[in-house]
Amino acid sequence: MKFFFPDSQDQVDPGFDFITEERDPFRVRQRDDRYAHEVLHPAPFDGLLVSKAIVDGTTSATTGKYTGAQRHRLYSDGAEAFFRLATSTTRLKIMGDCGAFSYVAETYPPYTVDEVIDFYDGCGFDYGISVDHVIFQYEPSIDRHDPRAEEWVRRQDITLELAGDFRKRCRTRSVGFIPVGVAQGWSPDSYATAVTQLQRMGYRRIALGGMVPLKTHEILACLRAVNDVRRSTTQLHLLGISRCDDIPTFASLGVSSFDSTSPFRRAFKDDRDNYYTPSRTYVAVRVPQVDGNAKLKARIRSGEISQDQAIKFERAALDLLRRYDRDEVDLEPVLDALRDYSTLWNGKSDRTDQYRVTLADRPWRACPCSLCQHIGIEIVLFRGSERNKRRGFHNLYVFEQRLRDQLGRDDT
C-alpha cells in the first residue's frame, strides 16, 4: 500500500529561530526551505501527488500556488530535481493529477488532454491521472436514467470520454509515465460501471474520485461493488482518502495506493486533534502572536487592551512553557499564564483542561522523530506556520508508522 502526500508547497525554514521568531534575511523560499521528506528519515510517505491546478492554476486569471520562477524550474529541471527526491533513502514516486476540486464549479474541465500530458511528461512524473470532472453527491438508490442524475451522468460521461482520449494520446505520444484512469460516480453501481469501462479502455491503474465527503461504510460499499467487476491485475487508488484503521480492508478490495493531506492539515485546522501519537491525539497549545491574531489586534485597535499588556502576557506564557520543558517550573503556573493570555484573545473558551493533558503527558519527549527531538515543546505550540507545519510533518510521520503497523512492517 502506497501513501502519496499531495503537494501544496508546504516546507519549513531550517534556519528559523523559535526564540526570536526570525528567519535568515537571505533565505529563498522553496530553494532553502525543506520538504517533509528532507527533514524526516525515512520519508513519511511513499510519494507526492502534484496537481496541475496547484502548479499552473485553472485559468489565465486563476494562478496556482507556485511562483513563475518555481513553475519554470519544475518544468526545466524536472520533478526529481525540483522536489529534491535524491535526498530520500528510497526514491519517492510522483503522481500527477488535474486538481478537479479546483474547478468543480465549472461546466467543463479547463484543461485539454494534451495540456495535461505535457505537464506530466514534461515534469517527469511516474504516474499521470486522466482529466476528470468530480461528482460530490452520493445517492445509491438513483440510477443513471433518473432525471435527478442528469448532471452526475454528464460529469461521469465527460470523465470517461476524456479518459479514453487520454489513454489514446498517451500511446500515440509514447509517454514516460503510467496512465491512470479516473472513475467518478454517485453510487456503488455507478462506480462499478465506470471501472468496467476504464478496464475496457486498457487501464490497469484506476483512481476513484469524489469520495472525500463519503462515510467509511459508503466507501466500502463502492469498493465492494467495484471489486465485483475489477480484474485481478487492476490496481485502485483512492483520491483524498486516508482512514488509517480501514486500510487493511481497503487493501483486500484492490486498493494499492491513496493520497491524503488529513494528518498534515489537522495539525492546524482541527479544533482538538492537532498532535498525533501512536495511541491517541492531543490538542496543541494555542499561543498566537500578538501581531498575528485578528481578535487580539481588533481589541488593541479599539483600546480595550494595550499592545504592551498583550505582549507581556504572550512573553510570559512562552517563557513559562519553555522553562516547564526544562523542568524548571511546575505545570500550574504555566496553565495560569496560558489562561491569562487566552482571556485577551479568546475569552469565550477555556482550554485549561485540554492543555493540562497535553503538557502533563509531554508526548514530544517520547516521540523519536527528528522534529520533536530537535525543537521539543515548540512542536505542540499552535503558533505560526513554522511550528504548525512541523507539527503537521510530525503527524505524517506518526500516520505512516500507524499505516505500516496496520499492514505489517514488511509492507512496501
Q: Which domains are delineated in the chain?
A: 2-260 (3.20.20.105), 269-395 (no CATH)
- Other residues' Cβ atoms within 10 Å of the Cβ of residue 171: 11
Position 58 scores a pLDDT of 85
Which residues, in sequence order, are CB contacts of 160 under 8 Å at separation 6+?
194, 197, 198
Lookup: cell for 269: 485546522
Low-confidence ranges of the chain (pLDDT < 50): 410-412
Residue 245 pLDDT? 84
Say what the pLDDT of residue 411 is. 46
Q: How far apart are CA 54 and CA 90, in angstroms?
A: 25
Residue 207 φ/ψ region, left for φ over 0, alpha for ψ in the -120 to 50 degree band, beta for the rest: beta
Q: Are 255 and 403 in contact (CB under 8 A)?
A: no
Here the cell at position 88 is 530520500
Catalytic residue status for 157: no
| pTM of the predicted model over 0.85 | yes
Which of 33, 97, 126, 132 is flagged as catalytic?
A: 97
pLDDT tens, residue by residue, 315-347: 999 999 999 999 999 999 999 999 999 999 887
Instruction: Judge residue 178's burial from the number of C-beta atoms within 10 Å of its C-beta, 0-12 exposed, 13-18 middle, 19 or more buried.
Output: middle
Q: For residue 163, what are the contacts with CB-CB under 8 A and spacing of at least 6?
A: 130, 131, 132, 181, 182, 198, 201, 203
CB 113 within 8 A of CB 165: yes
How far apart CA 344 and CA 353 sit, in angstroms, is: 18
**C-alpha span between 160 and 211 (Å, rounded):** 17
pLDDT in tens, 112-146: 999 999 999 999 999 999 999 999 899 999 999 99
Q: Which one from 10, 132, 259, 325 is the annotated catalytic residue?
A: 259
CA dihedral 14, 18, 19, 25 (to 10 degrees): 50
pLDDT of res. 410: 46
Q: Are 1 and 247 in contact (CB under 8 A)?
A: yes
- Contacts by 274-281, CB closer than 8 A, 24 or more apart: 274/380, 274/382, 274/391, 275/358, 275/363, 275/364, 275/379, 275/380, 275/391, 275/394, 275/395, 276/394, 276/395, 276/398, 276/399, 277/363, 277/366, 277/367, 277/398, 278/398, 278/401, 278/402, 278/405
The number of residues making up the chain comes to 412
| Distance from C-alpha of 325 to C-alpha of 337, rounded to nearest angstrom | 15
| Cα–Cα dist 295/411, whole Å | 47
Q: Annotated catalytic, 259?
A: yes
371: which 3 cell numbers?
Answer: 522534529
∠ Cα 3 382 350 (to 5°):
125
Predicted local distance difference test score (pLDDT) of residue 242: 85
Report angle CA 16, 18, 19 to the nearest 5 degrees: 125
End-to-end CA distance of the chain: 7
